[in-house]
Structure 1
Amino acid sequence: MSRPRALADLVSILLGSVVALMGLALFAGGAYLAWLGGSWYFVVLGAAMLVSGILVAQRRREGALLYGAAFVLTGAWAVWEVGFAFWPLVSRLFALAVLACVVALFAPLLDRSGSVAWRRASLDVAAAVALALVATTLRAFQPVPIIAATEVAAVHPATQAGPQVDWAAWGNTNAGTRFAGLTQIDAANVAQLQPAWTFRTGDIAVSNGFGAEDQTTPLQIGDTVYVCTPNDIVIALDADTGAQRWRHDPKASAPQWQRCRGLGYHDAGAAEGGKVCPRRLLLATIDARLIALDAATGQPCTDFGAGGTVDLKTDMGEVKSGFYTQTAAPLIAGDLVVVGGRVADNIETGEPGGVVRAYDVASGELRWAWDPGNPATTRLPPPGETYTRGTPNVWTSMAYDSALGLIYAPTGNATPDFFGGHRTAQDDATNSSLFALDAATGRPRWHVQLVHKDLWDFDVPAQPALYDLPDGNGGTVPGLIAATKHGQIFLLNRATGAPIAPITERPVPQGNVPGEHYAPTQPYSDMPSIGTETLTEADMWGATPFDQLLCRIQFKTMRHEGTFTPPGFDTALQMPGSLGGMNWGSTAIDMTRDYLIVNDMRLGLWNRLIPREQVETGKAAGTEMGLSSMRGTPYVSLRNRFVSALNVPCQKPPFGTLTAIDLKARRIAWQVPLGTVEDTGPLGIKMHLPIPIGMPSLGGSLVTGSGLIFFAGTQDYYLRAFDAATGREVWKGRLPVGSQGAPMTYRSPKTGRQYIVITAGGARQSPDRGDYVVAYALPADSGSK
């Protein structure tokens, strides 16, 4: 046998073996999928590839023809199943197209007659497929809106925002709009943004497996920027240089959930000039303390509580280490500092309660308490008792309307999250709701429940945004916007709680877990929802047909009946999952266009309840994924993210978006994928490819008066600016590591420069961690004032 012929035989055998083995895998997996009631197409494709591979190995050109026919039919099937949606087609066709190109390239070896026409046709096909692959690759790098802007809202003055002097609250103001009417940085010059200063806090959020994260939004008061770190160290920085002015370490510690999302600030004014510290920062710590610090020196305000500290564990009963923490910034409502608290989800019943308390901002004296489990408690619990244990809690940020005298408190769930048979009628009445509390007394004036009998960890996670809207009669109505984990947005009258956008009760699936109670209906808002589509098998995705097939198999083994699929003894798929949808990063408002800006994540969660006697004692303890003990109930919970074997979400992209909703028209103005796979990828391996597929996001956005949206909470390491009119990305700046913080902005009273400040401590799920505070500005010699 001649060497060329022997080489051709060897290449044909190798190529045929690859095609046949791929076909065998698809056939076997496809047969299982079909047995589960799924698509038969993978059986057909796998069989065709198996026969094709055998023929190719035998150096028969019928093998190439059969593979080509199977590929063409796969293209037709793919278009039939998903239309011309780009990423779903890539999942079904790209890897097979690469193999088609290789088969066509080597097809001349399969013709023993040496036909010139066969050779030319084979190479032409290889070239055509290669060009299609190049075109697809180039398209993959192009940012394409999911919903393109078709109309651009007229710009008007931001009448609901006063002059931007200080960023004095977590959401800029207590209205939580994250809008700052600064215009020095605009679409024409944003490309010139560059780091002006960088500060290292020295406190890196290194997780022990239970969620240490840097998620802060700094404050700016005058010429000073204030930041807090995951372990509650508070640092004051020069607003123009980033130089440290003072540092206070409260020596806070907790075994889990180390984070500080923000600080409160109170200025008593000249009338209180004789006080120990008339300008004070309020810090709520991870070990449940409320601390007042002198904003000028960082020293404790000794007239507050006991030497500057109020113990928030007082009257809470037993508080195990890590079971009651503070993660939201304290709310400053007039002369009150108001706090809720986070409890450890899914460990046991009867954990510390969800009481909301208001303290005198000067003295630390308790002024009132709202106990969701006992409306009769208005300040201290009855003698010998504690605040009601195990009640829904207010773990996220609150908002405040001083004119109405109302504090808006979003509630979570009575833990554990996924079984509610032990909950009281009062628990069911107060969970996953929005309460308007009288700021003077703490008594609820109204409340609206956004999830009934919550079994999904669908807490109301976002700070309510307070924004007035036209009433249709030439006036305005005081609006409140609540974004939820289950992807809905509720628009309410903040004075009365009445819906501005209609809310309807719709029937939802019912479960059959013994001892459980189910709500027959759930409230649905007439506002646009984000990422709430009920999944089908055709929505499954993967980088290749193989992991897509595995996701299809996984999906067909689950029960999925839409957003409110109840947990059970089988595997129930919840979409969106317990991270959202929308989360604590909250929303922002472009006040010049009346646009609501929302970032979301699209991560499903599968869940299964297991009778307690079937689980070995001590195996279930976690609060995040895996087995959770849920002590005090008959069950433990097993749950995890709905991801492929490559740790990629199983449903089609995008996995996260940035959306603008026109609040007047109540429609989506535009929606774009948010983030790339540059710093992540399958199995967590960085792809180093800026493909804008849209990744899960966490954190909040910032809108400026010049029509720019800034956001950094993506899986890649960038602070980005978007055109608020269209969602087009107009600039991005590389960060040392990822961020989960929200950007803020200010104009220096000394130099007149506008800064955009972001903390970068590490993106969610990323191993890269840091302790950076980065301020961006236009070049100092740009002439901008």
Structure 2
Amino acid sequence: MLDQPIDKPWKKVSLLILGLILTATGLALLGGGLRLLMLGGSIYFAPAGLALTVSGVLTILRKPAGALLYLATFVVTVLWALSTSAFALWPLISDLMAPAVLAVAVLLLMPAYKFKPGRSYKAPRIAAGVLTLGIIATFVGAFQTQWIVKPQDNPDLASGAGVSAPADENWAVWGGNAEGTRFSSLTQLTPENVAQLEPAWTYRTGEVPVGGEGHIVVPLQVDGMLYGCTHTSRLFAVDSETGEEIWTFDPDAEGNIFPRCRGVIYYDANADQSPAERDGDVEALDVDALCSRRIISSTVDARLVAVDALTGEPCAEFGENGIFDLRNGMGEIKTGYYFQTSSPTVGRGLIVIGGWVHDNAEVGEPSGVIRAFDARTAELVWAWDLGDPSITLLPPPGESYSRGTPNVWSTMSYDDTLGLVYLPVGNATPDFWGGHRSDAANEYSSSIVALNIETGREAWHFQTTHHDLWDYDVASQPVLYDAPDGNGGTIPAVYQPTKRGHIFALNRETGEPIVPVEERPVPTDGVDNETYSPTQPYSTFPSFGTEELSENRMWGATLLDQLYCRVRFKGARYEGDFTPLTTDPTIIYPGWSGGMNWGSVSINEDEGIMIVNDIRLPIISRLIERETYDEMAESGDTHGGAAAMAGTPYGLQQDRFMSPLGIPCQEPPFGTLSAVNLNTNDVLWSKPLGTIKDAGPLGIATGINIPIGLPTLGGSVNTASGLVFMAGTQDYYIRALDVHTGEELWKGRLPVGGETSPMTYVSPESGRQFVVITVGGNRATPIRGDYIMAFALPE
């Protein structure tokens, strides 16, 4: 039976709306497509935009050619999308979802066009039904994990060996142990029962961070007491069974611009004799004496604080009544320009500490000197000033440690057998200009350095980026493990993750690579008054998020924002991960967020499996000549990630490479979790981590659990039972996964994001295993929290 005509007003109204949508979309694609063609980009968008514009006008006029032209354009779009996407889901969604929805509308409204009377519309309706089913299937598919590397069957695993004992009932060190493997020997929680985890208690610090502040501490737990710090440097202890507060200590810290505290030190003077005790300068403490066990932390105004672990009372013998000023010998320190954001390292009675400096503000910022202090008295034992190695304690009177040298702001690792402490070294300030850097700064920036913990003298160093001009400072804690050597033995290894997405595997005794590192040529044509390294080191260990960008990898929720990203990409300079910055927009990928950031990696020591999480957020930057930048700054025209870089020929403008909807411009995932077999150095599995439930376009939470994979800031924890615990995503969850397969076994809902690493312990009171995570919010949203949450099996 032939379809009967619909009412004329509905025909006009429906096709008017559809035609306006097609015309507006077409004009946007045409304008952007012409711009893209001028930049040497894809030929698809301009003709497609012209076709949609004509189709829209004809549709408004109810001309049948409007429908036919759109459908023909849709077929071409399908062919184009398949040829450029390699049938991957996320590119196809960007290319085809919106065109398919419009195609369904065109097909269903064909009776409203002025076709000849008596025409049958059965075929268009069937086609619309098929397309609708395809749209639904694609939407359902978006909820399924899009594996990057699917889990392997029967992998060739072989365990190496931990350097010292892993974390057990206690979690007494920031990284689980001094080697930073984040591995726990606990087995109470298993893949079989972890789904039963439920909230056990919540502690609130009373300090909700705002703006750039960060509540990201990884607490410690020792013998029933859980210790931590707030972003204002207030220390606290709570009952690890109930979360009830036991004591707090406020050092009244003030004056900073990037306040956070990632962790504290637990120091037992009875188990680790300090130099002052060995030299007979102080007597050994009685087991139950005040401060025989102490909590030591740095503050946001550059002081060291030591308090009794049981009472929170200041340790009188430490500095001046429990406080030591780290500014001694540092020279001028502007407010907020120097303090330590990460947990110091302790070994052989020494506190080894570096410092964070204010990125990209100016040249000659406070020194990156590394110092060691007696854990009993805070007396300076040694200093390593890479700008002047002759300074081994305080600098001469009236002078300071070498200013502007590369610093260590992240957490160090320590091998007590070798007596070496491993430093993840950053850059000489500012990060994006190096024409002023000294030979020493060029030699040590973005390196891992091994120092003798008793003397502070260098054993070796290895550079991960030469003459770093991209802020690829080493942010991750080095991880120490005796790796399997393939012949039944082990190699003393240090694994150094980097913001570049590369992981360097070195012999921790010598600094020589145990997995080959290749020097590859990179571009050197930047600005005239800068120098560039002609080659850069590339590790052949598995890397993550390092595939080069291309125009076809640009992405968006629709073709329109994808086109915007394509135009920006083609209009910027990009020649790989070491593209030199110039006064033209330049894309840096991986960006300065990572790759891998301060959360580092974890290792299942029993099976030799490394867990890696990463971030994939390109940055678009440009240098601005000094006079122009200063004029812009004076008039308030700088914005976003602008940085003065005072004392250099340039200022800096930088922003994340995003679409107008606030979505990264490259295709998903934007963050992943992966496992590496350390016996074969093969990737066991790799998957996107994180959904858009609490994130979305324009920063609006979608409420949808689509596992697109979001940036992961924080780290993971491994347990001997085969579990991986991980938070750090932009959705409000902590997850448990199977270390062998990557399968998600449980997720616990958090009140806000948990942008840090979890930890686990056994309460001596109940014998229950707890998993604890600090929940302070994440940088993707303005919502913050002051929570520390514990999960456990039901009693």
How far the C-alpha of 1:515 sits from its partner, in A, is: 2.0
Matched, 1:527 2:528: no
Q: Match for 1:40 among 28, 40, 43?
A: 43
By how many angstroms is 1:163 displaced? Answer: 6.6
Q: Aligned runs of 1:36-115 on 2, under 5 Å? A: 36-115=39-118
Q: 2:730 aligned with 1:715, yes or no?
A: yes
8 Å CA contact 1:394, 1:412 repeated in 2: yes
Give 1:249 deviation, angstroms.
1.3
Q: Map residues 394-409 of structure 1 onto 2, 5 A cutoff.
A: 394-409=408-423
Question: How far apart are the structure 2 equivalents of 1:624 and 1:301?
Answer: 45
Q: Determine the C-alpha separation between the residues in 2 that align with 1:167 and 1:522.
A: 38
> Residue 166 of structure 2 contacts residue 183 of structure 2 at CA under 8 Å; is this kept in 1?
no
Q: How many residues are paired up?
A: 775
1:278 is the counterpart of 2:292: yes
String of CA shifts for 1:284-314, please: whole Å, max 9, x gaps. Answer: 1111001111001011111101111110000
User: Who is 2:752 aligned against?
Assistant: 737
Using the size of structure 1 for normalisation, the TM-score is: 0.96
* Maintained 8 Å contact 2:161/2:482: no
Instruction: Give the stretch that moved more between structures: 289-298 or 661-670.
Output: 661-670
**How do residues 315-714 of structure 1 correspond to structure 2 at under 5 angstroms?**
315-617=329-631, 619=633, 625-714=640-729
Q: How far apart, in 2, do the equivalents of 1:112 and 1:671 lie?
A: 53
In structure 2, the residue matched to 1:20 is 23
Native 8 Å contact 2:484 2:678 kept in 1: no
CA distance in 1, matches of 2:758, 2:365: 34
1:699-722: per-residue Cα shift (whole Å, max 9, x none)? 111111111111110001000111
Structure 1 Cα separation of the partners of residues 249 and 475 of structure 2: 29
1:97-246 aligned within 5 A: 97-115=100-118, 117=120, 119-153=121-155, 160=162, 161-162=165-166, 164-207=168-211, 211-246=212-247
SS of aligned partner of 1:770: strand
CA distance in 2, matches of 1:114, 1:176: 77
- Classify the secondary structure of the residue corresponding to 1:272: coil
Amino acid at match of 1:25: A
**TM-aligned CA deviation for residue 115 of structure 1:** 3.3
SS in 2 for 1:214: coil
Deviations along 1:327-360, whole A, 9 cap, x unmatched?
0101011200111000001111011000000000
> 1: CA distance between counterparts of 2:720 and 2:476?
23
Partner residue, 1:750? 765
What is the CA–CA distance in structure 2 between the aligned matches of 1:17 and 1:84, rounded to whole Å? 31
Does the aligned pair in 1 maintain the 2:696–2:702 contact within 8 Å?
Answer: yes
Q: Kindly state the Cα deviation for residue 254 of structure 1 after the two structures are TM-superposed.
A: 2.9
Q: Secondary structure at the match of 1:90?
A: helix
Q: What is the alpha-carbon distance in structure 1 between the residues aligned to residue 325 and residue 159 of structure 2? A: 45
After TM superposition, give the deviation of residue 63 of structure 1 in Å.
1.7
Tell me by how many angstroms 1:151 deviates.
2.9
Assess if the C-alpha contact under 8 Å between 2:160 and 2:484 holds in 1: no
Q: Is the 8 A contact 1:108 1:122 kept in 2?
A: no
Quickly say closer, same or farther: Cα 1:471–1:654, change in 2 above 3 A.
Answer: same
- Would the alpha carbon gap of residues 51 and 266 (structure 1) be closer, same or farther in structure 2, given more than 3 Å must change? same
d(CA) in 1 for partners of 2:597, 2:82:
35
Superposed counterparts of 1:755-774, under 5 Å: 755-774=770-789
Amino acid at match of 2:734: L
Task: Kindly state the Cα deviation for residue 383 of structure 1 after the two structures are TM-superposed.
Answer: 2.8
Which stretch has the larger CA shift, 85-94 or 154-163? 154-163
AA aligned to 1:178 is: R
Specify every segment of 5 or more residues in structure 1 that has no aligned partner in the other structure, as ranges: 781-785
- Matched residues, percent identical? 50
| One-letter identity of the residue aligned with 1:682 | P
The gaps in structure 2 that reach 5 residues or longer are: 272-283
1:131-178 deviation per Cα after TM superposition (whole angstroms, max 9, x unaligned) = 111111111111232110123446777852457131111101110000
1:726 CA drift (Å): 1.0
Q: 1:619·1:627 contact (CA, 8 Å) conserved in 2? A: no
Would the aligned equivalents of 2:351 and 2:375 in 1 still touch at CA under 8 Å?
yes
- Report the equivalent of 2:248: 247
The aligned amino acid for 1:11 is S
1:101 match: secondary structure: helix
**Cα distance, 1:606–1:162 mapped onto 2, change above 3 Å:** closer
Q: CA RMSD in A?
A: 1.7
2:486 corresponds to which letter in structure 1? G
8 A Cα contact 1:656 1:695, kept in partner? yes
Instruction: State the distance in 1 between where 2:739 and 2:114 align.
Output: 59
The residue type paired with residue 24 of structure 1 is: L
Question: Once the 2 structures are TM-superposed, how far is the Cα of residue 10 of structure 1 from its aligned partner?
Answer: 2.8
Deviation at 1:52, TM superposition (A): 1.5
Deviation at 1:683, TM superposition (A): 1.0
Instruction: Report the AA paired with residue 123 of structure 2.
Output: A
Greater mean alpha carbon deviation, residues 322-331 or residues 622-631: 622-631
Match for 1:185: what amino acid?
L
How far residue 522 of structure 1 moved from its aligned partner, in angstroms, is 0.5
CA contact (8 A) 1:702 1:709 kept: yes
Alpha-carbon separation, structure 2, partners of 1:405 and 1:732: 40
Report how far residue 50 of structure 1 moved. Answer: 1.4
Determine helix, strand or coil for the equivalent of 2:311.
Answer: coil
Distance 1:697 1:173 in 2: 22
Runs of 4+ aligned structure 1 residues displaced above 4 Å come to 154-159, 620-625
CA distance in 2, matches of 1:643, 1:317: 40
